[in-house]
Every structure is written in structure tokens, then in C-alpha cells.
């Protein structure tokens, strides 16, 4: 089974993303995967300054939480990014983290499968498309990896509302079970 790293990017208290993440993690563990979960709540993530020193050193010149998170990402077999959808796009903190993963590009990274779980107030089928396109753009930079799947749970807005959404909780659990 796989070494799965789940990265939750919502900073909201009683996050709907976090409620569904718990179910995803339960499903992944029940499928036999080893799962580690990192939340970006309380983490310090500076913006990439574009110096490209990391392309030679495989280390970022900035010293914050993105450095150790990148090491976890590098050694995971499977990645799951969890994001609320804001203005039809991934959260800003998720985009900042993806940018800071630049030191991994020239490295011998382990991840092969990348997934995304997203939530939003909007419930249109197209709501997560731009977030998925953004994540696909990141994945495309890693030729050994693929965007292997996504789950969107829309129509959830109030803090903690997902705790009453049994169908979505089951979907998240099953999504976790289906990870490779």
C-alpha cells in the first residue's frame, strides 16, 4: 500500500474541508494506506521570491514551514491536496505552497499519484475546474506524477455544515478508499 500525505489548506475554524478530510483519511487507512496529515493552519508560508537557487541546491533560501512540508511531499507516494474553492479557484495558501515546492522539481521525488478534494458554497459541476487546472499545471511539471482523481463537494458553506452532510462524508470516505 501507499504512503499517503494529505495536505489540508483551509485556515477556517470548523472547516468543512477538514470534516471531509477526516473521512477521506479514514477511508485511506481502511484501505491499508499509511496516512500522514498536515494542516496549513498556523503554518508560516512565505511567497516564492523566484530566485531559482533551489534548482541548483534543491533547498529553498526561505526558512519557514514550507521547507519541512516539501520534504514530506518529496517522500510521499501519494499526495492529496484539500482546498476550499474561493472565487472558483484553489485557496491562496494552497497556491503559495505549490509555488514553494519548486525545490522538488529537480529532485528524486517519490510521489506518483496526486489527488484533490475540494469544497465550496457553489454547487455547479464546473466550480472546481480552475482549481483542478491549477493543480494540473503543477503536476505537469513532475513528469513521473499524474493527477489521478478529484472529488468536489459543493453546496456547503456554513462553518461545520459538512458534519451534517452524510452523503458527502460517505463520498469522501470512498474517495479515500480508492486512492492508489
Q: Are strands 113-120 and 78-84 parallel, antiparallel or unpaired?
A: parallel
* pLDDT at 91 (0 to 100): 97
* Residue 86 CB coordination number (10 Å): 14
Domain region containing 169: 3-177
11's grid cell: 485556515
Residue 126: strand, helix, or coil: coil
Query: How many Cα atoms sit within 13 Å of 47 on the Cβ side?
Result: 3
CATH number of the structural domain spanning residue 73: 3.40.50.360
With a cut of 90, say whether residue 13 has pLDDT above it.
no
Segment 105-149, tens digit of pLDDT:
999 999 999 999 999 999 999 999 999 999 999 999 999 999 999
Q: How many domains does the chain have?
A: 1
Residue carrying the nine cell digits 464546473: 126
Global pTM value: 0.97
The pLDDT confidence band at residue 14, using thresholds 50, 70 and 90, is: confident
* Residue 68 CB coordination number (10 Å): 11
Residue 50: strand, helix, or coil: coil
Amino acid at each position: 500500500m501507499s504512503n499517503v500525505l494529505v495536505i489540508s489548506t483551509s485556515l477556517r475554524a470548523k472547516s468543512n474541508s477538514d470534516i471531509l478530510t477526516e473521512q477521506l483519511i479514514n477511508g485511506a487507512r481502511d484501505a491499508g494506506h499509511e496516512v500522514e496529515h498536515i494542516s496549513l493552519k498556523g503554518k508560516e508560508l512565505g511567497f516564492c521570491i523566484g530566485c531559482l537557487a533551489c534548482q541548483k541546491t534543491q533547498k529553498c533560501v526561505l526558512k519557514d514551514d514550507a521547507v519541512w512540508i516539501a520534504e514530506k511531499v518529496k517522500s510521499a507516494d501519494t499526495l492529496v491536496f484539500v482546498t476550499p474553492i474561493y472565487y472558483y479557484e484553489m485557496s491562496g495558501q494552497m497556491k503559495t505552497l505549490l509555488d514553494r515546492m519548486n525545490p522538488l522539481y529537480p529532485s528524486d521525488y517519490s510521489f506518483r499519484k496526486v489527488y484533490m478534494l475540494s469544497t465550496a458554497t457553489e454547487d455547479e459541476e464546473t466550480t472546481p475546474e480552475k482549481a483542478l487546472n491549477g493543480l494540473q499545471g503543477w503536476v505537469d511539471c513532475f513528469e513521473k506524477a499524474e493527477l489521478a482523481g478529484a472529488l468536489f463537494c459543493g453546496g456547503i458553506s456554513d462553518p461545520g455544515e459538512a458534519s451534517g452532510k452524510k452523503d458527502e462524508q460517505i463520498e469522501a470516505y470512498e474517495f479515500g478508499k480508492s486512492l492508489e
